[in-house]
A and B are shown apart, each in its own frame.
Chain A
Amino acid sequence: MKTSSSIYKIGGYLLVLICLNHVAFAQKSDSFQLLLNMDAVYNRPFLQAGSFPVAIGGYIEAQGEYFVSDGITEGVSFKIPRMTLFVSSTITERIKFLSEIEFEEGTKEINIEFAALDFEFHPLLNFRGGIIMNPIGAFNQNHDGPRWEFVDRPISATTIIPATFSNVGFGLHGKTYQKQWVWAYEAYVTNGFNDRIVANSEGRTWLPATKENVDRFEENFNAVPLITLKTAIRHRKIGEIGLSWMGDVYNKYEEDGLMLDQKRRLDVLAIDFNTSAIKNLDITGEWVWAFVDVPATYSQQFGSQQQGGFIDFVYTVLKREMFGWENARINLALRLEHVDYNVGSFEETGGNIHDDVQAIVPALSFRPSSQTVIRANYRHIWETDLLGNPAAKTAGFQIGISSYF
């Protein structure tokens, strides 16, 4: 099957599906309409006992899967990708603390993904410090498993943007409202990337490799901080669009006063959007570009430009009381993904450098409540190597559960 034609076919079917249903503006609550992706970190259910000043919560994800790669299967496999604990506290009026500790795949990795204090001087001027989730794209801040209808996370959001990507630093954020519009910004200075992004066992420019540096919560890899900026605007009846950028020097160009290399920059630009403007249909998407100053004398397999994104369509086919759960929902969903890890052409031949991945993920989910989801999806992935040889095809079924608690 040609990947691109399949994606066009799927897109066509989706349009037909939408047309089968009348289009109308969704009626959502006012509070929901005011929330942006940046609010995801606090927009979580917490359990608080009486006047005890600390609230706790968390979420869990578990899944089983069966995949076949070009006729070879590893069989059925089960895993618990992550269990996350939240602890939050309103220390005093307009001073809040929140932490998010994640246990990945049992205790294979234990990470503090967020641990920050927020000081609200004015709705438009909040000061945040600690371990911060860099606001690049939407998924990085809004990554909780129970929010999504698909078992796996989006490829671009975890391999170009290395979600969940958080660093130690400080910054400002704020939000304002005007009639139908909500506008917000975030600006942070944090520790940043390191040279593992072009010196890793993936053999490609690989931003997630920066997380292998265990000292990154202790000190910056070089003298240059990572700057992350994001702005987002939402129309209450249409949806939200966000534009974000982060930039840094990633290499150790100087040590003990000795110049080891020239400064090499990394810049990541992302655009994200979501809308619920069409009745029963939520559309969420994100597209990201990464620009990396890779030395010209290094291997071309380490791309100096990457791009990719995803678009999710989530269509509620049934919403009513089911099995005793009020407002239970059955959703039909589709995710289309594309990632190009190496945008460019070979010096030797002028031919396109491939190293790309495409995926189609139709899914079905059942939500007894908005905080809990049972989901199943089929996932078909085409991976093309650097040279553009016939794509390796992987496909299989996944079933998973995820819930806040």
Chain B
Amino acid sequence: MINIKIKVLPVICFMAAIIYSCDEVFPEAPAENELLDGPIGALSFSEQNRFLAGDVAFNDEIFTPESGLGPMFVATSCGSCHPGDGKGHPFTTLTRFGQTSPGQSTDFPAGAPQLQNRAIPGFEPEKLTLGTPFMKFTPPAVTGLGLLAALTDEQILKNADPDDVDGDGISGIPNYIDPPDYFQPKWFHQAVNAQFIGRFGKKAAAIDLLQQTATAYNQDMGVTSTFEPLDVATDLSVDPEVSDQTIREVVFYLSTLKAPIQRDPETYNVIQGQQIFTDINCGSCHIPSWTTPESDIPALSNKTFHPYTDLLLHDMGPELDDGATEGSAETYEWRTPPLWGLGLSPDSQGGEFFLMHDGRAKSIEEAILMHGGEANDSRGSFEQLSDIDKQKLLTFLKSL
């Protein structure tokens, strides 16, 4: 009996030590405002089923040569570019090339508009000819896209001021895009010369989420569909490698991902930082709030949300002129990127910031200082701020 007691003691010590070593026996879910993924509220059962199917296709389905990958590609799955539905990493940065002036829609070089810089074994990837102008695009976060897609063209055009009539130095130009043949305008789309306003992408070159999704399958993964039937390697039509249903489920998933939730919005520095954001005129382009009209997805109807974008193109100055473009955008014009979820970017970018269209900025401050063109005045105002006020502004931006 004595012998047993001696041996039980280390057992108890050992088990206690193990329990002490683990902070939590069962890992708790991260706070809702710390995560980008998850559905927008109030989805019906059938909508949740569609959301789940889209989630699996987006995050879990990895393409292989057998299932349609490539032969030339950039990434093997949607989720590898948008981990956790957040921003991507330079590892999956896209290279776009071919169009060098607004409205140019013919005589693109072979392989344009996107470089497939990887290839399955036995094949060679594309290479850019020396001297070809190109743009690199870091994959954006995909949350809240349904809310942006639900806005009307009329709402977007209210902020447009192509000729700077109001003289505030901020223009705001819609990027009018030739729609793909599968595009079906909704009641809120307004055609101008058979073109429609682009909303998605660094240059606002995609009109809706279906175009964005079908193009991404094709150009990013080399996967054909009935929407985008041409093989990226041969430019010839091949059998669809992803079904219409899967693409539509992914579109539904992207449409119903929740908007990022701001963290600590009531704290003093965040409130002060938000005021500074307004004072130095960042909000002229990064428009804080929008309200959706009625939507065919009830959960998206009449929702006020805070993306901090106007979905319009702005002159960002010669430093950000890559010499290539899309649609009717000038080479120096970029769509105002939404700022929501900005503070969570490192959680999907491997612990670092890779900001601006190509990830060249390694911090929010660096990104602000890279703003030129129409944002010159705001950048100058930022530079004039005291260190304390700069920190307040950065605290606010990180709270988004």
Contacts and interface: CB of A to CB of B under 8 A. Distances in A.
B84 interface: yes
A395 interface: yes
A295 B28 CA distance: 40
A250 to B, nearest CB: 10
A16 B21 CA distance: 15
Contacts of A199: 64-66, 69, 120-121
B41 interface: no
Interface string A51-65: 000000000000000
B125 interface: yes
Nearest to B69: A199
B113 interface: no
B23 A346 contact: no
A362 interface: yes
A298 interface: yes
Interface string B76-104: 11001001100001110100000000000
A389 B350 contact: yes
B17 A13 contact: yes
B11 A332 contact: yes
B119 interface: yes
Interface in B140-182: none
B383 interface: no
Interface in A1-47: 1, 6, 9-10, 13-14, 16-17, 20-21
B10 interface: yes
Contacts of B61: 201
Given A10-B17, A199-B65, A395-B26, A385 B11 contact: no
Given A13-B14, A71-B27, A299-B76, A260 B350 contact: no
A295 B125 CA distance: 11
A161 B90 CA distance: 31
A348 B94 CA distance: 12
Contact of A387 (B13, B65, B67, B83): B83
Nearest to B349: A387
B121 A20 contact: no
A317 B27 contact: no
Contacts of A299: 73, 75-76, 118
Contact of A396 (B26, B121, B348, B350): B26
B27 A69 contact: yes
Given A70-B30, A198-B121, A332-B11, A389 B25 contact: no
A200 B64 contact: yes
B91 A346 contact: yes
Given A68-B26, A348-B93, A264 B121 contact: yes
Interface stretch (B1-9, B47-55, B270-278, B326-334): B1-9
A216 interface: no
A378 interface: yes
Nearest to B28: A71
Nearest to B31: A71
A297 B125 contact: yes
Interface residues of B, number: 54
B22 interface: yes
B172 to A, nearest CB: 33
Interface in B346-376: 347-352
B120 A298 contact: yes
B29 interface: yes
Given A1-B22, A395-B27, A387 B89 contact: yes
A385 B79 CA distance: 11
B91 to A, nearest CB: 5
B29 A10 contact: no
A219 interface: no
Given A198-B121, A395-B26, A386 B18 contact: no
Given A201-B64, A203-B77, A380-B22, A261 B121 contact: yes
B83 A389 contact: yes
A387 B125 CA distance: 23
B62 interface: yes
B21 A6 contact: yes
B347 A317 contact: no
Contacts of A201: 61-62, 64, 67
Contacts of A349: 89-91
Nearest to A253: B122
Contacts of B192: none
Contacts of B83: 385-387, 389
A318 B7 CA distance: 8
A251 interface: yes
Interface string A259-290: 01100100000000000000000000000000
A214 interface: no
B29 A317 contact: no
B10 A298 contact: no
Interface in B9-47: 9-11, 13-15, 17-18, 20-30
Contacts of B244: none
Contacts of B65: 199
A201, A334, A386, most chain B CB atoms within 10 A: A201
B239 interface: no
B89 to A, nearest CB: 5
Contacts of B62: 200-203
16 contacts: A6-B22, A70-B28, A71-B27, A71-B28, A73-B26, A199-B64, A203-B77, A264-B121, A295-B121, A297-B119, A317-B7, A318-B4, A351-B352, A362-B14, A395-B24, A396-B26
The list of the 6 closest CB pairs from A to B, nearest first, reads A71-B29, A393-B27, A387-B350, A348-B90, A13-B17, A68-B26
Interface of B: 4, 7-11, 13-15, 17-18, 20-30, 61-62, 64-67, 69, 73, 75-77, 80, 83-84, 89-91, 93, 118-125, 347-352
Interface of A: 1, 6, 9-10, 13-14, 16-17, 20-21, 68-73, 195, 198-203, 251, 260-261, 264, 295, 297-301, 317-318, 332, 334, 346, 348-349, 351, 354, 360, 362, 378, 380, 385-390, 393-396
